[in-house]
Structure 1
Amino acid sequence: MVEDQQVELELPPLDTLAARLEYLFDKIRPTPEELSDSDEPGRRYTNKEIADKINAAASDTGVTISAAYIGELRRGVASDPRMSHVRALAAAFGVNSGYFVDEAAARRIQDQIGLLNELRRMDVKQVALRQVLADSGLSATDTQLIEQMVARLRAVAEGSDANSASDEPDERR
Protein backbone atom coordinates (compact mmCIF):
# COMPACT_ATOMS: atom_id res chain seq x y z
CA MET A 1 0.00 0.00 0.00
CA VAL A 2 2.79 2.44 0.88
CA GLU A 3 4.45 1.71 -2.47
CA ASP A 4 1.20 2.49 -4.31
CA GLN A 5 0.97 5.84 -2.53
CA GLN A 6 4.60 6.65 -3.40
CA VAL A 7 4.02 5.84 -7.07
CA GLU A 8 0.93 8.03 -7.14
CA LEU A 9 2.89 10.92 -5.64
CA GLU A 10 5.53 10.59 -8.36
CA LEU A 11 2.98 10.91 -11.18
CA PRO A 12 2.74 14.41 -12.64
CA PRO A 13 -0.62 16.19 -12.52
CA LEU A 14 -2.71 15.76 -15.65
CA ASP A 15 -5.13 18.62 -15.11
CA THR A 16 -5.22 20.04 -18.64
CA LEU A 17 -5.44 18.62 -22.13
CA ALA A 18 -2.02 20.14 -22.84
CA ALA A 19 -0.49 18.36 -19.82
CA ARG A 20 -2.05 15.04 -20.83
CA LEU A 21 -0.87 15.38 -24.41
CA GLU A 22 2.62 16.41 -23.32
CA TYR A 23 2.75 13.39 -21.01
CA LEU A 24 2.08 11.11 -23.99
CA PHE A 25 4.81 12.81 -26.03
CA ASP A 26 7.16 12.43 -23.09
CA LYS A 27 6.45 8.78 -22.31
CA ILE A 28 5.45 7.03 -25.54
CA ARG A 29 8.21 6.47 -28.06
CA PRO A 30 8.17 5.51 -31.74
CA THR A 31 8.34 1.77 -32.35
CA PRO A 32 11.41 0.33 -34.07
CA GLU A 33 9.28 -0.05 -37.22
CA GLU A 34 8.54 3.68 -37.19
CA LEU A 35 12.19 4.68 -36.88
CA SER A 36 14.52 5.04 -39.82
CA ASP A 37 18.07 3.69 -39.70
CA SER A 38 19.40 7.15 -38.87
CA ASP A 39 16.94 7.76 -36.02
CA GLU A 40 18.02 7.50 -32.41
CA PRO A 41 16.16 4.71 -30.57
CA GLY A 42 14.07 6.01 -27.69
CA ARG A 43 13.62 9.50 -29.10
CA ARG A 44 10.34 11.37 -28.76
CA TYR A 45 7.68 11.67 -31.43
CA THR A 46 7.52 14.96 -33.29
CA ASN A 47 4.29 16.86 -33.87
CA LYS A 48 4.66 16.08 -37.57
CA GLU A 49 4.98 12.33 -36.96
CA ILE A 50 1.79 12.25 -34.90
CA ALA A 51 0.01 14.38 -37.49
CA ASP A 52 1.26 12.02 -40.21
CA LYS A 53 -0.06 8.99 -38.27
CA ILE A 54 -3.47 10.63 -37.90
CA ASN A 55 -3.55 11.78 -41.53
CA ALA A 56 -2.52 8.33 -42.77
CA ALA A 57 -5.69 6.95 -41.18
CA ALA A 58 -7.88 9.75 -42.61
CA SER A 59 -9.37 7.51 -45.28
CA ASP A 60 -10.85 5.38 -42.47
CA THR A 61 -11.53 8.07 -39.85
CA GLY A 62 -12.19 11.18 -41.91
CA VAL A 63 -9.94 13.12 -39.52
CA THR A 64 -6.96 15.22 -40.55
CA ILE A 65 -4.80 17.41 -38.37
CA SER A 66 -1.74 19.63 -38.80
CA ALA A 67 1.51 19.46 -36.90
CA ALA A 68 1.04 23.15 -36.04
CA TYR A 69 -2.35 22.45 -34.42
CA ILE A 70 -0.84 19.60 -32.40
CA GLY A 71 1.82 22.05 -31.22
CA GLU A 72 -0.90 24.52 -30.19
CA LEU A 73 -2.67 21.77 -28.23
CA ARG A 74 0.60 20.81 -26.51
CA ARG A 75 1.27 24.42 -25.49
CA GLY A 76 -2.31 25.04 -24.36
CA VAL A 77 -2.84 27.74 -27.01
CA ALA A 78 -5.66 25.62 -28.40
CA SER A 79 -7.52 23.85 -25.64
CA ASP A 80 -10.90 22.79 -26.98
CA PRO A 81 -10.34 20.35 -29.86
CA ARG A 82 -13.12 18.54 -31.65
CA MET A 83 -13.88 15.12 -30.23
CA SER A 84 -12.72 13.59 -33.52
CA HIS A 85 -9.28 15.12 -32.94
CA VAL A 86 -9.20 13.78 -29.39
CA ARG A 87 -10.03 10.28 -30.64
CA ALA A 88 -7.42 10.55 -33.40
CA LEU A 89 -4.72 11.71 -30.98
CA ALA A 90 -5.56 8.86 -28.62
CA ALA A 91 -5.40 6.35 -31.48
CA ALA A 92 -2.06 7.73 -32.67
CA PHE A 93 -0.59 7.12 -29.21
CA GLY A 94 -2.43 3.83 -28.70
CA VAL A 95 -4.44 4.93 -25.66
CA ASN A 96 -8.14 5.09 -24.92
CA SER A 97 -9.70 8.45 -25.80
CA GLY A 98 -11.08 8.62 -22.24
CA TYR A 99 -7.52 9.52 -21.23
CA PHE A 100 -8.13 13.09 -22.41
CA VAL A 101 -11.49 13.64 -20.72
CA ASP A 102 -11.70 11.44 -17.62
CA GLU A 103 -9.42 11.85 -14.59
CA ALA A 104 -9.69 8.20 -13.50
CA ALA A 105 -8.98 6.96 -17.03
CA ALA A 106 -6.01 9.32 -17.28
CA ARG A 107 -4.53 7.98 -14.05
CA ARG A 108 -5.06 4.35 -15.09
CA ILE A 109 -3.40 4.96 -18.44
CA GLN A 110 -0.62 6.92 -16.80
CA ASP A 111 0.00 3.96 -14.46
CA GLN A 112 -0.07 1.52 -17.38
CA ILE A 113 2.36 3.60 -19.42
CA GLY A 114 4.69 3.77 -16.43
CA LEU A 115 4.57 0.01 -16.00
CA LEU A 116 5.12 -0.65 -19.70
CA ASN A 117 8.04 1.75 -19.88
CA GLU A 118 9.61 0.12 -16.85
CA LEU A 119 9.14 -3.32 -18.38
CA ARG A 120 10.68 -2.16 -21.64
CA ARG A 121 13.59 -0.63 -19.79
CA MET A 122 14.15 -3.85 -17.90
CA ASP A 123 13.25 -6.04 -20.91
CA VAL A 124 11.23 -8.27 -18.59
CA LYS A 125 8.45 -10.05 -20.46
CA GLN A 126 7.83 -12.48 -17.61
CA VAL A 127 6.71 -9.67 -15.33
CA ALA A 128 4.20 -8.50 -17.94
CA LEU A 129 2.78 -11.99 -18.28
CA ARG A 130 2.49 -12.31 -14.51
CA GLN A 131 0.67 -8.96 -14.29
CA VAL A 132 -1.81 -9.91 -17.02
CA LEU A 133 -2.52 -13.23 -15.36
CA ALA A 134 -2.95 -11.63 -11.95
CA ASP A 135 -5.30 -9.01 -13.41
CA SER A 136 -7.43 -11.78 -14.91
CA GLY A 137 -8.12 -13.14 -11.42
CA LEU A 138 -6.13 -16.36 -11.61
CA SER A 139 -4.70 -17.82 -8.43
CA ALA A 140 -0.96 -17.80 -7.80
CA THR A 141 -0.85 -21.55 -8.51
CA ASP A 142 -2.70 -21.16 -11.82
CA THR A 143 -0.45 -18.24 -12.75
CA GLN A 144 2.65 -20.30 -12.07
CA LEU A 145 1.28 -23.20 -14.12
CA ILE A 146 0.56 -20.95 -17.10
CA GLU A 147 4.02 -19.39 -16.85
CA GLN A 148 5.54 -22.88 -16.95
CA MET A 149 3.38 -23.80 -19.95
CA VAL A 150 4.47 -20.68 -21.81
CA ALA A 151 8.13 -21.40 -21.02
CA ARG A 152 7.71 -24.99 -22.26
CA LEU A 153 5.96 -23.89 -25.45
CA ARG A 154 8.71 -21.35 -26.10
CA ALA A 155 11.38 -24.00 -25.56
CA VAL A 156 9.60 -26.44 -27.87
CA ALA A 157 9.19 -23.75 -30.55
CA GLU A 158 12.85 -22.74 -30.29
CA GLY A 159 13.92 -26.39 -30.35
CA SER A 160 11.83 -27.20 -33.41
CA ASP A 161 13.09 -24.09 -35.20
CA ALA A 162 16.69 -25.02 -34.48
CA ASN A 163 16.34 -28.75 -35.21
CA SER A 164 14.09 -28.68 -38.25
CA ALA A 165 13.85 -26.57 -41.35
CA SER A 166 10.53 -28.16 -42.29
CA ASP A 167 7.06 -27.47 -40.95
CA GLU A 168 6.84 -30.95 -39.41
CA PRO A 169 6.05 -30.99 -35.66
CA ASP A 170 8.76 -32.19 -33.30
CA GLU A 171 7.81 -35.80 -32.40
CA ARG A 172 10.29 -36.12 -29.50
CA ARG A 173 7.86 -34.74 -26.86
Structure 2
Amino acid sequence: MVDDQRAEQELPSLDTLAARLEYLFENIRPTSAEVGDSDEPGRRYTNKEIADKINATADETGVTISAAYIGELRRGVASDPRTSHIRALASVFGVSTGYFVDDTAARRIQEQLTLLSELRRMDVKQVALRQVLTDNGLSATDTQLVEQMVARLRAVAEGAGPSENHAAPGVRR
Protein backbone atom coordinates (compact mmCIF):
# COMPACT_ATOMS: atom_id res chain seq x y z
CA MET A 1 0.00 0.00 0.00
CA VAL A 2 2.85 2.36 0.79
CA ASP A 3 4.39 1.49 -2.60
CA ASP A 4 1.09 2.32 -4.32
CA GLN A 5 0.91 5.69 -2.59
CA ARG A 6 4.54 6.46 -3.41
CA ALA A 7 4.08 5.50 -7.08
CA GLU A 8 0.99 7.68 -7.30
CA GLN A 9 2.86 10.63 -5.81
CA GLU A 10 5.71 10.23 -8.30
CA LEU A 11 3.41 10.51 -11.32
CA PRO A 12 3.08 14.06 -12.64
CA SER A 13 -0.25 15.82 -12.29
CA LEU A 14 -2.52 15.61 -15.30
CA ASP A 15 -5.02 18.25 -14.24
CA THR A 16 -5.31 20.07 -17.59
CA LEU A 17 -5.76 19.07 -21.18
CA ALA A 18 -2.37 20.61 -21.94
CA ALA A 19 -0.68 18.50 -19.25
CA ARG A 20 -2.34 15.32 -20.51
CA LEU A 21 -1.36 16.01 -24.11
CA GLU A 22 2.19 16.92 -23.14
CA TYR A 23 2.44 13.67 -21.14
CA LEU A 24 1.60 11.71 -24.30
CA PHE A 25 4.20 13.59 -26.32
CA GLU A 26 6.75 12.87 -23.61
CA ASN A 27 5.97 9.17 -23.23
CA ILE A 28 4.84 7.87 -26.61
CA ARG A 29 7.60 7.89 -29.19
CA PRO A 30 7.66 7.22 -32.93
CA THR A 31 8.48 3.67 -33.94
CA SER A 32 11.69 2.92 -35.79
CA ALA A 33 9.62 2.49 -38.96
CA GLU A 34 8.21 6.00 -38.54
CA VAL A 35 11.53 7.75 -37.91
CA GLY A 36 13.58 5.86 -40.47
CA ASP A 37 17.31 5.18 -40.44
CA SER A 38 18.44 8.78 -40.72
CA ASP A 39 16.50 10.09 -37.72
CA GLU A 40 17.33 9.74 -34.05
CA PRO A 41 15.61 6.80 -32.35
CA GLY A 42 13.65 7.52 -29.18
CA ARG A 43 12.94 11.15 -30.02
CA ARG A 44 9.60 12.82 -29.37
CA TYR A 45 6.91 13.34 -31.97
CA THR A 46 6.65 16.82 -33.41
CA ASN A 47 3.37 18.71 -33.61
CA LYS A 48 3.61 18.44 -37.40
CA GLU A 49 4.02 14.67 -37.33
CA ILE A 50 0.93 14.25 -35.17
CA ALA A 51 -1.04 16.66 -37.36
CA ASP A 52 0.13 14.77 -40.46
CA LYS A 53 -1.00 11.45 -38.96
CA ILE A 54 -4.43 12.88 -38.17
CA ASN A 55 -4.74 14.58 -41.55
CA ALA A 56 -3.72 11.38 -43.36
CA THR A 57 -7.01 9.82 -42.24
CA ALA A 58 -9.14 12.89 -43.00
CA ASP A 59 -10.86 11.15 -45.94
CA GLU A 60 -12.19 8.52 -43.51
CA THR A 61 -12.71 10.63 -40.38
CA GLY A 62 -13.44 14.08 -41.76
CA VAL A 63 -11.05 15.52 -39.17
CA THR A 64 -8.15 17.81 -39.95
CA ILE A 65 -5.91 19.69 -37.57
CA SER A 66 -2.91 21.98 -37.87
CA ALA A 67 0.43 21.62 -36.17
CA ALA A 68 -0.01 25.16 -34.82
CA TYR A 69 -3.31 24.20 -33.14
CA ILE A 70 -1.71 21.13 -31.57
CA GLY A 71 1.00 23.44 -30.23
CA GLU A 72 -1.68 25.72 -28.77
CA LEU A 73 -3.34 22.75 -27.08
CA ARG A 74 0.00 21.62 -25.64
CA ARG A 75 0.73 25.09 -24.25
CA GLY A 76 -2.78 25.57 -22.88
CA VAL A 77 -3.46 28.55 -25.17
CA ALA A 78 -6.36 26.56 -26.63
CA SER A 79 -8.15 24.46 -24.04
CA ASP A 80 -11.56 23.55 -25.46
CA PRO A 81 -11.02 21.45 -28.59
CA ARG A 82 -13.79 19.90 -30.62
CA THR A 83 -14.75 16.35 -29.71
CA SER A 84 -13.50 15.21 -33.12
CA HIS A 85 -10.03 16.58 -32.32
CA ILE A 86 -10.00 14.72 -28.99
CA ARG A 87 -10.96 11.51 -30.78
CA ALA A 88 -8.27 12.03 -33.41
CA LEU A 89 -5.55 12.77 -30.85
CA ALA A 90 -6.57 9.75 -28.78
CA SER A 91 -6.50 7.54 -31.86
CA VAL A 92 -3.06 8.75 -32.98
CA PHE A 93 -1.57 8.15 -29.54
CA GLY A 94 -3.42 4.85 -29.04
CA VAL A 95 -5.29 5.85 -25.88
CA SER A 96 -8.99 6.03 -25.07
CA THR A 97 -10.75 9.34 -25.49
CA GLY A 98 -11.53 9.15 -21.78
CA TYR A 99 -7.87 9.96 -21.11
CA PHE A 100 -8.54 13.59 -22.02
CA VAL A 101 -11.76 14.04 -20.03
CA ASP A 102 -11.82 11.57 -17.14
CA ASP A 103 -9.36 11.78 -14.25
CA THR A 104 -9.62 8.07 -13.44
CA ALA A 105 -9.01 7.06 -17.06
CA ALA A 106 -6.10 9.50 -17.31
CA ARG A 107 -4.48 8.10 -14.16
CA ARG A 108 -4.96 4.50 -15.34
CA ILE A 109 -3.41 5.21 -18.75
CA GLN A 110 -0.61 7.18 -17.12
CA GLU A 111 0.16 4.19 -14.89
CA GLN A 112 0.08 1.84 -17.90
CA LEU A 113 2.45 4.06 -19.88
CA THR A 114 4.78 4.29 -16.89
CA LEU A 115 4.82 0.50 -16.56
CA LEU A 116 5.37 -0.01 -20.28
CA SER A 117 8.20 2.51 -20.28
CA GLU A 118 9.86 0.78 -17.35
CA LEU A 119 9.50 -2.64 -18.96
CA ARG A 120 10.97 -1.32 -22.20
CA ARG A 121 13.88 0.22 -20.28
CA MET A 122 14.53 -3.03 -18.43
CA ASP A 123 14.45 -5.10 -21.64
CA VAL A 124 13.08 -8.02 -19.65
CA LYS A 125 12.84 -11.56 -20.89
CA GLN A 126 9.47 -13.30 -20.68
CA VAL A 127 10.40 -15.84 -18.02
CA ALA A 128 12.08 -13.26 -15.77
CA LEU A 129 9.12 -10.93 -16.22
CA ARG A 130 6.67 -13.65 -15.25
CA GLN A 131 8.64 -14.36 -12.06
CA VAL A 132 8.84 -10.68 -11.09
CA LEU A 133 5.12 -10.21 -11.63
CA THR A 134 4.26 -13.33 -9.67
CA ASP A 135 6.57 -12.26 -6.83
CA ASN A 136 4.71 -8.95 -6.70
CA GLY A 137 1.34 -10.64 -6.31
CA LEU A 138 -0.11 -10.22 -9.79
CA SER A 139 -2.68 -12.79 -10.83
CA ALA A 140 -2.10 -15.12 -13.77
CA THR A 141 -4.48 -13.00 -15.85
CA ASP A 142 -2.64 -9.77 -15.02
CA THR A 143 0.71 -11.43 -15.71
CA GLN A 144 -0.53 -12.58 -19.11
CA LEU A 145 -1.74 -9.06 -19.90
CA VAL A 146 1.66 -7.56 -19.06
CA GLU A 147 3.42 -10.22 -21.17
CA GLN A 148 1.15 -9.31 -24.08
CA MET A 149 2.03 -5.63 -23.60
CA VAL A 150 5.74 -6.44 -23.68
CA ALA A 151 5.28 -8.52 -26.84
CA ARG A 152 3.36 -5.63 -28.44
CA LEU A 153 6.09 -3.16 -27.50
CA ARG A 154 8.71 -5.39 -29.08
CA ALA A 155 6.61 -5.73 -32.24
CA VAL A 156 6.15 -1.97 -32.48
CA ALA A 157 9.86 -1.37 -31.84
CA GLU A 158 10.70 -3.77 -34.66
CA GLY A 159 8.16 -2.14 -36.96
CA ALA A 160 6.03 -5.27 -37.08
CA GLY A 161 2.94 -3.72 -35.49
CA PRO A 162 0.17 -2.03 -37.43
CA SER A 163 0.97 1.65 -37.77
CA GLU A 164 -2.56 2.82 -37.15
CA ASN A 165 -3.14 0.97 -33.89
CA HIS A 166 -0.75 1.71 -31.05
CA ALA A 167 -3.11 0.89 -28.19
CA ALA A 168 -1.78 -1.45 -25.57
CA PRO A 169 -3.86 -4.58 -24.98
CA GLY A 170 -6.65 -3.74 -22.59
CA VAL A 171 -6.63 -0.01 -23.39
CA ARG A 172 -10.03 0.78 -24.85
CA ARG A 173 -10.44 3.26 -27.66
**TM range, smaller chain:** 0.7 to 0.9
Paired residues for 1:108-147 under 5 Å: 108-124=108-124, 126=126, 127=129, 134=139, 136=141
The aligned counterpart of 2:30 is 30
Cα 1:128–1:58, aligned 2, differ >3 Å: closer, same or farther?
Answer: farther
The total of aligned residue pairs comes to 139
Instruction: Tell me the TM-score normalized by structure 2.
Output: 0.74
Q: Percent identity?
A: 73
Runs of 5+ in structure 2 lacking a partner? 148-173
Residue by residue, what CA displacement relative to the aligned partner does 1:80-106 show, whole Å, maximum 9, x if unpaired?
000000010011111111000000000
Cα pair 1:99 1:105 within 8 Å, conserved: yes
The aligned counterpart of 2:64 is 64
Q: Give 1:124 shift.
A: 1.9
Q: Give 1:33 shift.
A: 1.2
The aligned counterpart of 1:162 is none
Paired residues for 1:1-173 under 5 Å: 1-124=1-124, 126=126, 127=129, 134=139, 136=141
Which residue type is aligned with residue 139 of structure 2? A
1:72 alignment partner, SS class:
helix
Q: Give 1:135 shift.
A: 6.8
Q: Give 1:136 shift.
A: 2.9
Cα 1:80–1:31, aligned 2, differ >3 Å: closer, same or farther?
Answer: same
Cα 1:26–1:45, aligned 2, differ >3 Å: closer, same or farther?
Answer: same
Cα pair 1:24 1:93 within 8 Å, conserved: yes
Which residue type is aligned with residue 55 of structure 2? N
C-alpha distance in 1 between matches for 2:104 and 2:130: 22
Residue by residue, what CA displacement relative to the aligned partner does 1:133-158 show, whole Å, maximum 9, x if unpaired?
837368xxxx7xxx9xxxxxxxxxxx
Instruction: Tell me the TM-score normalized by structure 1.
Output: 0.74
Q: CA RMSD in A?
A: 2.2
Q: Give 1:20 shift.
A: 0.3
The aligned counterpart of 2:159 is none
Cα 1:50–1:129, aligned 2, differ >3 Å: closer, same or farther?
Answer: farther
